[in-house]
Amino acid sequence: MTQLENASLASLIEAYRPLAKVRDEWLPHVQQSAWQDVYGWFADQGSETLAGLSTDLQHQLREHGATFDPQRQQNRTLDILPWLIDAQEWQQLEAGLRQRRRLLSAVLKDLYGPQDLLKLGILPPELIYRNASFLLPCHHLLPDEGEWLMLMSSDVGRDAQGRFCAFQDSSQAPGGLGYVLENRVAFNQVVPELARRFRKRQLASFFKDLQKSMVAHMPYNNEPLIGLMTRNYRDQQYFEHAFLANYLNIALVHGADLMYKEGRLWLKTLSGLQPLDGLMRYMPDNVSDPLELDAGIAGTPGLLQCIRQGNLLCCNPPGTSLVDSGCLLPYMDTLCEFLLEEPLLLPSVEAHWCGNAETLPALLDEAESLIIRDLERPGELIALASITRNEREAFIQRIQQDPARYMAQKALPLSTVPVWQHNALAPRSVVLRNFVLHRQNDEDCVLPGGLARCHEQPLALQTGLESIFVAKEVWLHSRSSQHISLLHSAITSVRLSRRSGLLPSRVADHLFWMGRYSERLNLACRALRATLPLVSTVAREEQIETLTPLVEFACTINGGTFTPTESADELTGQLSSLFARDRMDGLLTVMQSLIMNAQSVREFFSEDTWHVLERLQNALNTFPAQGSTSRMVRALDDVILLQSAIYGLNNETMSRTQTLRFMDIGQHIERAMQTTSLLESVFVKNPMPTATLMEAVLRKADTLMTYRRRYRTELHPVAIIDLLLLDEGTPRSVGYQCARLKRQVNLLPDRDSTLPGLNAEQRLMVELVALLQLVDLDALMTETGEPSEQLGELLERIQTLLIQLSDAITLAYFNHADIPKPIVRI
């Protein structure tokens, strides 16, 4: 293939080499004006321009965040060339998709209802009852008029005859909907000129219909509360779910965010429990309700009962994953004739149930062309052509031993589309994931386009959405200009609002701990930065008494252990071990905890914050655990600087709401606790600290210059304790943290306005601030300059109150422990 350097459209066509015996989606339409217009623009660009635009597209996906899994690995790239689908062919595909949704919904309604399909022998009972995706607790889950499949997706590809053919249906978590949206947004932002050249159908109308469908016939609220239920941040599609929930303006919830009470599901928020009206469920069926289905921590107990009582609109209810298992593919024609009394419009891939003894021998003779599904292990697809000969023979033996457990479908050859890679157009196999939505009292709606996935290997596209792929924009011609947005303009009056919406308790919990882990990492790095230079500069006879308190503080800051020793080398070894990757209380573990909490609430942070977080993670992953002290100190400087940037960005970009408040509370609780712990290590456990140690403490707290301005060069324990413990004007002091915490705690949402007086956390803050303000500084030191017993008791009491404050906030706002009601006299 020739390199593109000011190529003409004719030269592009001539250089393109499609695969033999496989239909190409471009060449049959190359003379059509739409294709010529798009590829004509492409041919006018130089290779450097296209390379730059392609890079910008990937950066745009990265900024949106839906592209990445929890390990920040890119699972797809977006091609710069769209796929244009012919209008007539799309009409046929659209009609087939609408019929397919109606048919599969009718099948589910029967199987979870009267089961006529099993009684009449249209479907083999063993095929259904051995299927792990068929959930008996879901029998009669919905009323007779209930809609089982509100939203579904179907993967289609070309068969050997060149027809579009469905090879996979997805209902329990139709992944990719957020990807489609993100692709369109990224393309319009990076390549607006090309996007404007083609008058295409817009996506927003589909999402608008999805919003309307979720709020239809809800009797409870004028402003219904809808949630998008995802598993957790470790799920590969978590960021896609967060992106989609943000676009649809609905709450992103986990199972732990919800509770069943009084026949309804309630969302735990900072303002108390809020009734949930609708739920988009992006979670495997079997873990959706640990009370009636498989036990686990991901789902919500009572979900099935809430649906059963008609108190929740669920899209889609548990039990629908039966269609995902592929067990219905061989019977689609028969089912359509029986249930809908019409022929199947969109053919299904050739598929067979291995439990049919008549067809099994001939089927296994073509083993290399098969993709096998295990009905007892949902989601597992194995392409026999992709494994070794010995593995294939062993697998065939397993099928022969228990054939009723397996489904087999023929692999499709698929068609190809041109993809811009390595400065040339190359053919890549392609499949299209379509999305169909049921609309109340109206015809089903099909997303105009879909998720196009491209890959060099056709089998990789037919065994799941998890593999890395190249995505393509899918464009359909529109006869009129469409400007539809979920944020539509209004010429009438608008009620102004400064509310930030409901904040789920889980989100506040993650933000609280993000603040704590961020401060913990910052303090650990500051302690290391102050301690490392002392290893080589402190006199040998002073090393133990000077280094021990600092090393102990650094080792225990994340709940670790410190081993007292009289060996300076052992002290240094304990300090160096904090950089080890396998140390559970080391720097990298703190960083991982910080990133985990940030990823769990990714939608609350700006893109700039994520860029800095990524740089911070890279800085720690490449940290020089060995080498010169100066090099390690410089690396610590970089980490501390990046953390300061995160603090600044969050304060600049996050609204002054409970979102920022909980992160702030977590940060200042941690700083107060650790500063108290440091003072205890230095002045209580070490009654006569050296001048070097006291100076290191001031450096670690970033208050050395403040101290020098006040006291010149004289170092005195009482002055340092006053500065770091009691002085409310010093940002690193315990007194400052407590004064700030008191203000923030007083601004937390009311838990129960009917209760008189202060709540538990407010009482704790009053006691903390009063305790510090009433301290007699002279009583903290003896006449000989050593700490008195009162200093140790004071620091211990502060630690206890801070722990109680953290527990009180957790019980009140994260766990929603019942608030005791006052006794009413009768």
* Cβ-contact 428, 454 below 8 angstroms: yes
CA distance linking residue 525 with residue 535, whole number of Å = 16
3-state secondary structure of 632: helix
Alpha-helical regions (H) of 20-46: 33-44
Residues 6+ apart with CB under 8 A from 681: 549, 550, 552, 553
**751 band by pLDDT with thresholds 50, 70 and 90:** low
Per-residue model confidence (pLDDT) at position 246:
81
Neighbours of 826 (CB within 10 A): 3
Residue 454 above 60 pLDDT?
Answer: yes
Q: Please choose, from the candidates 348, 340, 321, 21, the residue with its C-alpha nearest in 3D space to the C-alpha of residue 155.
A: 348
CA distance linking residue 476 with residue 431, whole number of Å = 16
pLDDT tens figures, 403-423: 999 999 999 999 999 999 888
Per-residue HEC secondary structure of 326-368 comes to CCCHHHHHHHHHHHCCCCCCCCECCEEECCCCCCHHHHHCCHH
User: How long, in residues, is the chain?
Assistant: 826
Residue 602 above 80 pLDDT?
Answer: no
CA distance linking residue 527 with residue 636, whole number of Å = 10
Q: What amino acid occupies position 767? A: E
Per-residue model confidence (pLDDT) at position 625:
65
* Cβ-contact 755, 822 below 8 angstroms: yes
* Cβ-contact 523, 529 below 8 angstroms: no
pLDDT tens figures, 36-53: 888 888 888 888 888 899
Per-residue model confidence (pLDDT) at position 817:
56
Per-residue model confidence (pLDDT) at position 294:
86
Residue 496 above 60 pLDDT?
Answer: no
**746 band by pLDDT with thresholds 50, 70 and 90:** very high
CA distance linking residue 328 with residue 322, whole number of Å = 8
440 versus 521: which is more confidently predicted?
A: 521
Residue 237 above 80 pLDDT?
Answer: no
Residue 323 above 90 pLDDT?
Answer: yes
Per-residue model confidence (pLDDT) at position 317:
94
Q: Per DSSP, what are the bridge partners of residue 259?
A: 266
**754 band by pLDDT with thresholds 50, 70 and 90:** low
Residue 756 above 80 pLDDT?
Answer: no
* Cβ-contact 306, 152 below 8 angstroms: no
DSSP state of 680: I
Please state the rounded mean pLDDT for residues 288-296: 87
Instruction: Compute the C-alpha angle 298/300/305, nearest 5°.
Output: 145
Per-residue model confidence (pLDDT) at position 76:
81
* Cβ-contact 66, 407 below 8 angstroms: no
50 versus 499: which is more confidently predicted?
A: 50
Please state the rounded mean pLDDT for residues 810-814: 86
Q: Per DSSP, what are the bridge partners of residue 154?
A: 169, 434
The listed range with the strongest mean pLDDT (182-196, 305-319, 524-538) is 305-319
**485 band by pLDDT with thresholds 50, 70 and 90:** low
Q: E strands within 82-221?
A: 83-84, 151-158, 164-170
CA distance linking residue 75 with residue 61, whole number of Å = 11
**489 band by pLDDT with thresholds 50, 70 and 90:** very low
Give CA torsion, residues 335, 336, 342, 345, to 10 deg.
-140
CA distance linking residue 483 with residue 472, whole number of Å = 22
Per-residue model confidence (pLDDT) at position 102:
95
**354 band by pLDDT with thresholds 50, 70 and 90:** very high
Residue 716 above 90 pLDDT?
Answer: no
Please state the rounded mean pLDDT for residues 383-397: 91
Element (H, E) at 406: strand 406-410
3-state secondary structure of 430: strand
Residue 92 above 90 pLDDT?
Answer: yes
pTM strictly above 0.85: no
pLDDT tens figures, 637-680: 888 898 888 888 877 766 667 778 899 999 999 999 999 999 99
Neighbours of 613 (CB within 10 A): 24
The two tokens of residue 684 are 């209580």
Sign of CA pseudo-dihedral 665, 668, 674, 675: negative
**139 band by pLDDT with thresholds 50, 70 and 90:** very high
Please state the rounded mean pLDDT for residues 532-546: 82
Mean pLDDT of the chain: 85
CA distance linking residue 312 with residue 303, whole number of Å = 9
Q: E strands within 283-329?
A: 313-315
Per-residue model confidence (pLDDT) at position 621:
78
CA distance linking residue 723 with residue 707, whole number of Å = 8
Residues of the chain with pLDDT > 70, as a percent, come to 89
- Kindly report the backbone phi and psi dihedral angles of residue 252, in degrees, each rounded to the nearest multiple of 5, phi listed first: -85, 120
Task: Label the pairing between strands 83-84 and 474-475.
Answer: parallel
CA distance linking residue 287 with residue 321, whole number of Å = 12
| Edge-first strand listing for the sheet containing 258-261 | 258-261, 264-269, 272-275
Residue 211, judged by CB atoms within 10 A of its CB (0-12, 13-18, 19+), counts as middle
Residue 572 above 90 pLDDT?
Answer: no
Q: Please choose, from the candidates 672, 668, 693, the residue with its C-alpha nearest in 3D space to the C-alpha of residue 683.
A: 693
Q: What amino acid occupies position 28? A: P
The listed range with the strongest mean pLDDT (297-301, 353-357, 631-635) is 353-357
Per-residue model confidence (pLDDT) at position 620:
79
Per-residue model confidence (pLDDT) at position 221:
52
* Cis preceding linkage at 316, omega within 30: yes
